[in-house]
Structure 1
Amino acid sequence: MQLNVNQKFENIAVAVRQITRKTDQNNKNYYHLQVSIGLKNYDSKIWNDDEKIGEEIIPGCLAYISGIARDFKGSLQLHINSIQRIWNPSQELLNSILPSGYVNENDMVLEINNIISTISNPFIKTLLENIFAMPDVKKHFYKKAAGAEIHHAYQGGLAQHTIEVVKLIQSYCKIFSYIKYDIAVAAALLHDIGKIYELSSFPENKYTTKGRLLGHISLGADLVSRAISEIKDFPNDLKYDLIHCILSHHGTLDMGSPVLPMTIEAIAVHNADKASAEINAFHLAIERDTGLDGWTEYNPTYRRSIKK
């Protein structure tokens, strides 16, 4: 749904991302919200001090809102007159509101399976087949986001990001013949597997307690290590190379990697991951933006505005 300046809206369904009770210059309380419809995020205000609103409307819930869209400093802001929580939304309603990727889930499942089929090493192929058959992976990998806010932050984003990283690695392998294909592709498939535990499901899509305390790099390395331990005679050199790629894929210590990339495959995975994440982050910033000119609002992550 596309909203325009001075457009009235009535009973449109939104996902509530944030809600905060604030006080204005005249010492009157109001609610400041961030709501979303699909990929669009809208800054919103409720000029009402009803405590029931703060009790019922919480981050992660869905709600019907009515009001009018206004121009506020060059961006669209929703002035909400009424808001009503949706307590038991249907799956159809969820699908119509929540942010989703551009690739069908079934297509991504097939693509992951096709990628695994290109692996020659029997130990690595068995490892990948076993991991992608795990109940937790089957349940969450194709539905969760790859990030809470910055990149691929929508349903299916984790699988989409993973496939992008693999495709970049496959391109690298054609250019740099000395990259070990099986290790690099397997590491690309597994580099963010820990995010199935790091992020909660939609509509919340927030960091879990486990995710905050351990992080997806540690969680992913642990999952892969446990899966390897169940494969008889899995070579240690393959184990170390794969887990090293996972541990080092953020590239630097200050970005959260416990070790720096120290193999060709690790530096390839890091660069493919960075390219997929940053290009999508720019695209997502453009898609989310509700500004009225040709540039996004200032992006604090990348410290710049982005041309639409």
Structure 2
Amino acid sequence: MRYINTLHEGETIRTIYLCKGKRSAETRNGKPYDNLILQDKTGTLDGKVWDPNSNGIADYDEKDFVEVFGEVINYNGNLQLNIRQLRVAGKGEYNPADYMPTSEKSVDGMYEELMHYGAQVKNPYLQQVIQYYFVKDEAFIRRFKSHSAAKTVHHGFAGGLLEHTLSVVKMCEYMVGAYPILNKDLLYTAAMCHDIGKTQELSSFPDNDYTDDGQLLGHIVIGVEMLDDAIREIPDFPKKLSSELKHCIIAHHGELEYGSPKKPALAEAVALNFADCTDAKMQTLTEIFKDKNTTDWLGYNRLFESNLRKTSI
């Protein structure tokens, strides 16, 4: 197969991709066409079927693996595939692992490192929260290791949730060393648990889309509910500590308009918000600049509210 990150303008290709998205539209002249998002493990590619009623275009839908034949063009600085032929591929024609974007880091290695931080939590009640999910719940561990951290924007790949969580914990490690006012046990536990709700907010690959609970509740509410499930199983868990831990999760997006029901009121919640935001933004920049061998301006980015480009050296 031809991986998306190896394509070049002017090529004519025939290969199989996952049809991650499909939307029907009309040209200004009223002619129907299909917008596709094609995916493999190296990224996504916009596709256009300009004549969906052509004999060369078979019936297909989102989440189908499709063999496409067409020309790679450059449209507004991005590659696009103009598709002349399309058919749904049979199961024996592709390996699903080729179509799931995956962390470039060792999942088992990252999990082992995360648990190294978890073992540093000395408070017996908080340690039991960590044990409840990250040691004893095998189904949760499998989901956590393989899940993405987002549908889009940052860490939207298998293993992304683990990679993001570990990065947040590492930033919290620095802050604990720099600012003695921070409670290490509370901050480490909150950092490890801050996005556990994403294991239920998003479906697994290849869908990687919002579940019903993801749409209706969101990962912050789901995460607090999951914490409460653990806390109820731990005898004599201190009420104040429970509220402080839940507050860190509730407030980790920092602002009401970013989805947090409460703004940070504890030093640990402030630190967690900064660590979460920093890693999300730096990973977003990493993904924006990836495979873009240019120092030209890339255009306005909504998340950063700025025109972006790579450093010149």
Unaligned runs of 5+ in 2: none
Aligned residue pairs, count: 304
Shift of 1:293: 7.2
Contact 1:39/1:287 (8 A) holds in 2: no
Distance 1:304-1:89 versus aligned 2 partners, 3 A rule: farther
Distance 1:61-1:286 versus aligned 2 partners, 3 A rule: farther
Shift of 1:55: 4.8
Contact 1:31/1:45 (8 A) holds in 2: yes
Shift of 1:142: 1.0
Counterpart check, 1:198 vs 2:204 = no
In the alignment, the residues of structure 2 paired with residue 182 and residue 240 of structure 1 have an alpha-carbon distance, to the nearest angstrom, of 15
- For 2:43, the equivalent position in structure 1 comes to 40
Contact 2:99/2:206 (8 A) holds in 1: no
Shift of 1:238: 1.7
Contact 2:67/2:86 (8 A) holds in 1: yes
- For 1:294, the equivalent position in structure 2 comes to 296
Of the candidates 262, 267, 277, which is equivalent to residue 264 of structure 1? 267
Shift of 1:175: 0.7
In the alignment, the residues of structure 1 paired with residue 269 and residue 147 of structure 2 have an alpha-carbon distance, to the nearest angstrom, of 25
In the alignment, the residues of structure 2 paired with residue 288 and residue 25 of structure 1 have an alpha-carbon distance, to the nearest angstrom, of 33
- For 1:129, the equivalent position in structure 2 comes to 131
Shift of 1:292: 7.8
- For 2:221, the equivalent position in structure 1 comes to 218
In the alignment, the residues of structure 2 paired with residue 188 and residue 82 of structure 1 have an alpha-carbon distance, to the nearest angstrom, of 48
Distance 1:277-1:195 versus aligned 2 partners, 3 A rule: same
Distance 1:61-1:111 versus aligned 2 partners, 3 A rule: farther
- For 1:144, the equivalent position in structure 2 comes to 147
Task: Give, as a single letter, the amino acid of the residue that structure 2 aligns with 1:138.
Answer: I
Task: Give, as a single letter, the amino acid of the residue that structure 2 aligns with 1:154.
Answer: F
Of the candidates 95, 101, 105, which is equivalent to residue 103 of structure 2? 101
Contact 2:295/2:309 (8 A) holds in 1: no
Instruction: Give CA deviations for 1:273-293 in whole Å, capped at 9, x if unaligned.
Output: 00011111111222377x987
- For 2:91, the equivalent position in structure 1 comes to 88
Shift of 1:40: 2.6
Describe the SS at the equivalent of 1:275: helix
Counterpart check, 1:22 vs 2:25 = yes
Of the candidates 254, 258, 271, which is equivalent to residue 255 of structure 1? 258
Counterpart check, 1:5 vs 2:9 = yes
Shift of 1:97: 2.2
Q: Which moved more, 1:68-77 or 1:269-278?
A: 68-77
In the alignment, the residues of structure 1 paired with residue 209 and residue 192 of structure 2 have an alpha-carbon distance, to the nearest angstrom, of 23
Task: Give, as a single letter, the amino acid of the residue that structure 1 aligns with 2:234.
Answer: I
Unaligned runs of 5+ in 1: none
Instruction: Give CA deviations for 1:75-124 in whole Å, capped at 9, x if unaligned.
Output: 2111112222235368x822222211122221122122212111111211
Contact 1:68/1:79 (8 A) holds in 2: yes
In the alignment, the residues of structure 2 paired with residue 114 and residue 197 of structure 1 have an alpha-carbon distance, to the nearest angstrom, of 25
In the alignment, the residues of structure 2 paired with residue 292 and residue 97 of structure 1 have an alpha-carbon distance, to the nearest angstrom, of 27
| Structure 1 residue runs of 4 or more that deviate by more than 4 Å after TM superposition | 51-55
In the alignment, the residues of structure 1 paired with residue 201 and residue 65 of structure 2 have an alpha-carbon distance, to the nearest angstrom, of 22
Distance 1:245-1:16 versus aligned 2 partners, 3 A rule: same
Describe the SS at the equivalent of 1:41: strand
In the alignment, the residues of structure 1 paired with residue 97 and residue 58 of structure 2 have an alpha-carbon distance, to the nearest angstrom, of 25
In the alignment, the residues of structure 2 paired with residue 171 and residue 287 of structure 1 have an alpha-carbon distance, to the nearest angstrom, of 27
Contact 1:40/1:288 (8 A) holds in 2: no
Task: Give, as a single letter, the amino acid of the residue that structure 2 aligns with 1:121.
Answer: N
- For 2:156, the equivalent position in structure 1 comes to 153
Shift of 1:9: 1.1
Contact 2:148/2:158 (8 A) holds in 1: yes
The normalised TM-score by structure 2 is 0.90
Task: Give, as a single letter, the amino acid of the residue that structure 2 aligns with 1:95.
Answer: A
Q: Which moved more, 1:107-116 or 1:36-45?
A: 36-45
Q: Which moved more, 1:74-83 or 1:222-231?
A: 74-83
- For 2:71, the equivalent position in structure 1 comes to 68
Give identity over the alignment, percent: 29
In the alignment, the residues of structure 2 paired with residue 18 and residue 300 of structure 1 have an alpha-carbon distance, to the nearest angstrom, of 22
Contact 2:58/2:87 (8 A) holds in 1: no
Distance 1:98-1:89 versus aligned 2 partners, 3 A rule: farther
RMSD (Å) for aligned C-alpha atoms: 2.2
Contact 1:99/1:154 (8 A) holds in 2: yes
In the alignment, the residues of structure 2 paired with residue 32 and residue 305 of structure 1 have an alpha-carbon distance, to the nearest angstrom, of 26
